[in-house]
Structure 1
Amino acid sequence: MTETSHDGACHCGAVRFTVRLARGLATAARCDCSFCRMRGAVALTAAAITFHQGRESLTLYQFGSRTARHFFCPTCGIYTHHERRFPQGQLAVNAACLAGVSPFDFTELPVSDGRAHPSDNDGKDRIAGVLRFTPAG
């Protein structure tokens, strides 16, 4: 898979960015940790994010070990991206923020076992299951 670039924004447009995905959309996944279960976003591994607008206004949220850094637009509340806990600092972006990409474009998504996080589990990254979307009709 080759690297792709995508323009992205939060819902209200206050935060705008371009993201480089080293493996395109192939890294799409969900997680079953307490935070990701509630957030429900499809995350894509990013090689780099360049902000064009709104970076300085992003709100940071951290919990648990306070290693991962989750960023949100303070106006519309949309999660735009995060720096992962494992591998530490790796970037991930919310697929729903990317122009022309929908979370429903992914018919099967691996779900990482975030309840048994690799940082707490000798670096073992496990899959908890697979989330499937089947369009009606």
Structure 2
Amino acid sequence: MRYTGSCHCGKVAFEVEGELKEVLDCNCSICQKKGALLWFVPRTAVKMLPPDANLKTYTFGPARIKHRFCPECGIHPLGEGAMPDGTPMSAINVRCLDGVDLAALPVRHFDGRSM
């Protein structure tokens, strides 16, 4: 299925292709403060509309994940990193997707604080 998403002001917009079966609720310092619910997909499943030049990047700690955000409205629609096998992935903030019933999605809790 194809989903569309964006930041609040719309300067960062994207499409993502995949099957949204569950979301991850991470309790690490940044995810907890953002309130993000994450869906991990291969980076090739994401198409930025307009180009991701509109995104700014925040990294911290070991800098394994690039937390991407809109410099205009500050919303974090996605992050980028790699799966354990090295495959490039995107972590989609499902709260930024259009028309998704968040209450209908199973939530898996992840203890990112302990990493």
TM-score by length of 1: 0.72
Identical positions, percent: 34
Corresponding residue of 2:34: 39
Q: Partner letter of residue 73 of structure 2?
A: C
**Mapping for residues 54-69 of structure 1, pairs under 5 Å:** 54-69=51-66
Secondary structure at 1:53's aligned position in 2?
coil
Secondary structure at 2:20's aligned position in 1?
helix
What displacement does 1:59 show? 0.8
Asked whether the equivalents of residues 22 and 108 of structure 2 are also in contact (C-alpha less than 8 Å), the reply is: no
Secondary structure at 1:56's aligned position in 2?
helix
Where does the alignment leave 5 or more consecutive residues of structure 1 unmatched?
118-137
Task: Output the CA distance in 1 between the equivalents of 2:68 and 2:20.
Answer: 21
Corresponding residue of 2:93: 94
Corresponding residue of 1:19: 16
Corresponding residue of 1:75: 72
Secondary structure at 1:79's aligned position in 2?
coil
Alignment length (residue pairs) = 111
Instruction: Identify which of structures 1 and 2 has the higher relative contact order when contacts are C-alpha pairs closer than 8 Å and 6+ apart.
Output: 2
What displacement does 1:7 show? 1.0
1:39-86 per-residue CA deviation (whole Å, 9 max, x = no partner) reads 111111123210121510201000000111110011111101112465
Where does the alignment leave 5 or more consecutive residues of structure 2 unmatched?
none
CA RMSD of aligned residues (A): 1.8
Task: Output the CA distance in 1 between the equivalents of 2:40 and 2:55.
Answer: 19
1:3-59 per-residue CA deviation (whole Å, 9 max, x = no partner) reads x210111111111111112xx221311101111111111111123210121510201
Asked whether the equivalents of residues 95 and 102 of structure 1 are also in contact (C-alpha less than 8 Å), the reply is: no
